[in-house]
């Protein structure tokens, strides 16, 4: 039987000359060429993992100091155990340890190895296993024995995670920098994924795990899959919410259809518009409607916060997880549906109203704009006459602007809190947003600022409302409230229909204030039919404000696609 080179290497290391070892290996146990069998077996994978006596995670053959990396992890976890510390909460334990205690451990690690084990550890966590979406089920399997093996070196999963958390925190401590003189932070995608998986496992073990489809797809969207349909199928077994019959693993379906069914489940069957926050106009490389997220895209732009707790931290019946915004005051549309035609992709039909057009947009702030040459993008959003009055909230323009650019939310680890602003006098003086500030308060502002602004632009509406909107927003786009939505949305007219651009924060209107315009009959409900994305060449209106808040001069500049 033919197998891949990596599987051959694994079997060579895992076989025993003394006893029979039984493994379930998907590449062998599932006929990958039989679509019907593959679909049926993938649906059973959660049951298979649940009935296993253990999981062995194979990282590959030894190399790049992998043996020293796992030995380092064993030393760190053994230290925690010897000291009677809690391996499951390394973060809290780490904060409680003195520099002297931590130095003792690091001295022991340094004296034990001839090579640089920290760099070897960094290399180890970039191996393919940590980036593949199918490994999520392996890591989350509810089994007592879970072993990581690389070559002939082994370590249990929980010890490995404890060491990873320790190193992640230690490297960022200024007082421990002497131990890591040339080592940058381990803030890789792989590390974030590791910690998510560990938290998920502990929730499962404690009987508190719950996960909806959208949150699960979002948490692991940066993982890779050879078949992009597996960005959905590989995670269905982790979802605890009731899924409709339209969402079952079926490899007969093409990729756009699979992603469409996810959106249909979220928008119609769950009645939530939250999934619209994962749509990214800049990465629409599939034949998808504009309102359907492309899960093949590991987008860095974060949706606006939906709950006061980040999803991986939510336990069942968690009273701390509350809605952050309620722009439509929890009023939902009773007429939301999909419209089908023979020649077009399904259209989303829903109700809402527009509160104004975008008339001025600042330059968008993208992730690669953290360089010195482009870090003035956010500073370029600053309005003039900062002591003027922002009418919707009666704040000064400075106060309103300082809250708008963080979407009025503080990002405190897994928590999100409303009523937040940054110290703009400090940030307007900073020329480089690349490095975290030394002050804890400024680090909180830094994280909240980047979380809110990456991929977005500061936008001004025709009636003077301050907005934080997608970087693809253009003058003439409408700022709309869709019933049932927790935020506002940017829609672009396309004939008699609309194209979805993205979520929008409108300062002073995020708690249902706009609904009073509907009640007072200032505005009327209208029906929106949302279709494919419009690919017209974008234009940006670059503005500066002058006295009186917003006397603008405009210059149209063409922006590259």
Domain boundary among 173, 205, 237: 205
pLDDT, position 311 = 58
> 157 and 146 in contact (C-beta within 8 Å)?
yes
pLDDT, position 538 = 43
Cα separation of the two ends of the chain? 48
pLDDT, position 98 = 75
Q: Is residue 325 part of a domain?
A: no
Task: State yes or no: pLDDT of 16 exceeds 70.
Answer: yes
Query: CB under 8 Å to 546, separation ≥6 — which residues?
Result: 384, 385, 552
pLDDT, position 553 = 28
- pLDDT, tens digit, for every residue of 468-506? 999 999 999 999 999 989 999 999 999 989 999 999 999
| Domain range enclosing 246 | 213-299
Task: State the Cα–Cα distance between residues 74 and 413, nearest whole angstrom.
Answer: 27
If pLDDT is split at 50, 70 and 90, which confidence band does 216 have? confident
Q: For residue 100, what are the CA distances in angstroms to 83, 174, 175, 204?
A: 14, 14, 10, 36
Task: State the Cα–Cα distance between residues 57 and 427, nearest whole angstrom.
Answer: 45
Same-domain check for residues 384 and 515 = yes
Task: State the Cα–Cα distance between residues 218 and 226, nearest whole angstrom.
Answer: 18
Same-domain check for residues 370 and 433 = yes
Residue with tokens 């301050």: 466
Same-domain check for residues 233 and 118 = no
Q: Is residue 479 part of a domain?
A: yes
> 442 and 431 in contact (C-beta within 8 Å)?
no
Same-domain check for residues 116 and 237 = no
Same-domain check for residues 254 and 343 = no
pLDDT, position 244 = 78
3-state per-residue secondary structure call for 375-444:
CCCCHHHCCCCCCCEECCCCEEHHHHHHHHCCCCEEEECCEEEECCCCCHHHHCCCCCCCCCCCCHHHHH
What is the total count of domains within the chain? 3
Task: State the Cα–Cα distance between residues 70 and 189, nearest whole angstrom.
Answer: 20
> 473 and 501 in contact (C-beta within 8 Å)?
yes
pLDDT, position 541 = 43
Task: State the Cα–Cα distance between residues 274 and 328, nearest whole angstrom.
Answer: 13
Domain boundary among 280, 299, 318: 299
If pLDDT is split at 50, 70 and 90, which confidence band does 227 have? very high
Residue with tokens 């919707």: 392
If pLDDT is split at 50, 70 and 90, which confidence band does 256 have? very high
Q: Is residue 310 part of a domain?
A: no
Same-domain check for residues 165 and 223 = no
Domain boundary among 273, 299, 325: 299
Pick the range with the lowest mean pLDDT from 67-81, 191-205, 437-451: 191-205
Query: Tokens for 77?
Result: 């976890």
Q: Is residue 233 part of a domain?
A: yes
If pLDDT is split at 50, 70 and 90, which confidence band does 262 have? very high
Residue 482, SS3? strand
Q: Is residue 45 part of a domain?
A: yes
Q: For residue 350, what are the CA distances in angstroms to 279, 445, 479?
A: 17, 36, 15
Query: Tokens for 57?
Result: 């995670």
Pick from 462, 538, 531: nearest CA to 500 = 531
In sequence order, what E strands does 101-196 have?
Answer: 145-150, 153-156
Q: Is residue 304 part of a domain?
A: no
Same-domain check for residues 167 and 223 = no
CB atoms within 10 A of CB 62: 14
Same-domain check for residues 251 and 143 = no
Give strand pairing partners of 224: 132
- pLDDT, tens digit, for every residue of 283-308? 766 678 889 999 998 876 789 988 77
Same-domain check for residues 199 and 51 = yes
Strand bridging mode 389-390 / 395-396:
antiparallel
- Of residues 192 and 470, more confidently modeled: 470
Query: CB under 8 Å to 45, separation ≥6 — which residues?
Result: 26, 137, 237
Task: State the Cα–Cα distance between residues 154 and 77, nearest whole angstrom.
Answer: 13
What is the DSSP code (8-state) at residue 323?
Answer: B
If pLDDT is split at 50, 70 and 90, which confidence band does 320 have? low
Q: Is residue 291 part of a domain?
A: yes
Angle at 452 between CA 272 and CA 355, to 5 degrees: 60
- pLDDT, tens digit, for every residue of 165-174? 888 877 777 7
Q: Is residue 461 part of a domain?
A: yes
Same-domain check for residues 200 and 220 = no
Same-domain check for residues 224 and 148 = no
Task: State the Cα–Cα distance between residues 259 and 213, nearest whole angstrom.
Answer: 12
Query: CB under 8 Å to 32, separation ≥6 — which residues?
Result: 38
R_g over Cα of the chain = 26
pLDDT, position 187 = 60
Same-domain check for residues 506 and 357 = yes
> 506 and 471 in contact (C-beta within 8 Å)?
no
């Amino acid at each position: 039987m033919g197998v891949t080179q990596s599987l051959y290497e694994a079997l060579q290391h895992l076989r025993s000359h003394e006893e029979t070892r039984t493994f379930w290996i998907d590449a062998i146990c599932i006929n990958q060429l039989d679509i019907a069998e593959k679909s049926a077996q993938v649906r059973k994978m959660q049951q298979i993992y649940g009935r296993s006596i253990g999981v062995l995670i194979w990282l590959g053959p030894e190399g790049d100091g992998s043996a020293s990396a796992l030995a380092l992890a064993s030393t760190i976890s053994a230290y925690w155990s010897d000291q009677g510390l809690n391996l499951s909460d390394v973060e809290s334990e780490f904060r409680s340890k003195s520099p002297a205690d931590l130095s003792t451990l690091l001295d022991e690690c340094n004296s034990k190895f001839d090579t640089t084990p920290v760099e070897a550890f960094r290399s180890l966590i970039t191996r393919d296993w940590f980036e593949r979406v199918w490994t999520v089920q392996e890591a989350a399997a509810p089994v007592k024995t879970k072993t990581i093996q690389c070559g002939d070196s082994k370590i249990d999963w929980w010890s490995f995670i404890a060491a990873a958390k320790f190193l992640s925190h230690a490297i960022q401590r200024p007082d421990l920098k002497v131990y890591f003189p040339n080592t940058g932070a381990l803030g890789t995608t792989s590390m974030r994924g590791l910690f998510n998986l560990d938290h998920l496992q502990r929730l499962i073990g404690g009987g508190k795990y719950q996960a909806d489809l959208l949150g699960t797809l979002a948490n692991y969207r940066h993982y890779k899959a050879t078949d992009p349909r597996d960005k959905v199928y590989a995670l269905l077994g982790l979802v605890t919410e009731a899924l409709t019959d339209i969402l079952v693993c079926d490899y007969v379906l093409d990729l756009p259809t699979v992603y469409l069914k996810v959106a249909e489940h979220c928008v119609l069957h769950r009645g939530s518009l939250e999934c619209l926050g994962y749509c990214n106009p800049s990465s629409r490389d599939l034949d998808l409607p504009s309102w359907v997220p492309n899960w093949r895209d590991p987008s860095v732009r974060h949706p606006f916060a939906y709950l006061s707790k980040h999803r991986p931290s939510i336990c069942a019946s968690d009273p701390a997880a509350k809605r952050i915004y309620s722009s439509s005051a929890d009023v939902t549309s009773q007429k939301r549906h999909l419209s089908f035609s023979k020649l077009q992709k399904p259209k989303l039909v829903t109700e809402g109203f527009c509160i104004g057009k975008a008339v001025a947009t600042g330059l968008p702030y993208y992730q690669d704009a953290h360089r010195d040459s482009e870090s003035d993008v956010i500073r370029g959003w600053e309005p003039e006459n900062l002591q003027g009055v922002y009418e919707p909230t009666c704040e000064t323009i400075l106060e309103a602007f300082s809250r708008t650019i963080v979407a009025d939310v503080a990002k405190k680890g897994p928590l999100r809190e409303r009523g937040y602003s940054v110290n703009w006098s400090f940030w307007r003086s900073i020329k480089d947003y690349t490095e975290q500030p030394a002050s804890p308060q400024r680090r909180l502002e830094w994280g909240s600022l980047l979380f809110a602004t990456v991929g977005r632009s500061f936008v001004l509406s025709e009636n003077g409302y301050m907005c934080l909107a997608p970087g693809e927003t253009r003058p003439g786009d409408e700022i709309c409230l869709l019933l049932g939505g927790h935020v506002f949305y940017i829609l672009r007219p396309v004939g008699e229909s609309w194209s979805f651009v993205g979520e929008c924060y409108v300062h002073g209107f995020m708690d249902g204030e706009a609904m009073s315009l509907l009640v007072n009959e200032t505005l009327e409900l209208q029906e929106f039919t949302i279709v494919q994305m419009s690919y017209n060449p974008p234009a940006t209106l670059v503005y500066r404000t002058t006295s009186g808040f917003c006397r603008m001069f405009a210059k149209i500049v063409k922006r590259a696609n």
